[in-house]
Structure 1
Amino acid sequence: MPTGFDTGLPSSRQIQSMIKDQKQAEVKLISGETLSGQIRWQDQFCIGVVDENDRSSIVWRHAIAYVKPK
């Protein structure tokens, strides 16, 4: 299993594009919960989402069902 963060993967590039363009996103978790907001950062394990009330959430990548722009 690779230990580094592979920015060449299409999923990483798409999320990085959302961060750069400051797009709103919907993050659906495998638990069924949905987070809406702006993705501010990503690393090899997590993404950071800030909602409309400026509350930050750290989401583990393995808990994500899908991410889509709003």
Structure 2
Amino acid sequence: MSELDVNLPSTRQIQGSIKDKIQVSIKLLTGDVFVGRIIWQDPDCIFFCDTTDRKTLIYRRAISHIQYP
């Protein structure tokens, strides 16, 4: 498993949204959309909590994009 590269702008953007508890929208390659907050990230996954408090582990390779307000 590779380490999370904190020098990448994308990693810093996600870390900022975690720290500031910003609501985001994550769209998967399947077309599914999740709205809520990112709780943590690692090199392979993002742990997500939606607006109904449902928690989901999302593999990075399944993400199409993350949209910020």
TM-score grouping bracket, smaller chain normalisation: over 0.9
Q: 1:30 — aligned with what?
A: 29
Shift of 1:7: 1.0
Shift of 1:52: 1.3
Q: Percent identity?
A: 41
Shift of 1:66: 0.3
Distance 2:46 2:29 in 1: 15
For these two proteins, the number of residue pairs brought into alignment is 69
1:14 aligns to what SS in structure 2? helix
Q: 1:5 — aligned with what?
A: 4
Give structure 2 stretches of 5+ with no counterpart: none
| Displacement over 2 Å in runs of 4+ | none
- One-letter amino acid of the counterpart of residue 32, structure 1: G
Shift of 1:6: 0.6
Q: What is the root-mean-square deviation in Å for CA atoms of aligned residues? A: 1.2
- The alignment's TM-score, normalised by the length of structure 1, stands at 0.92
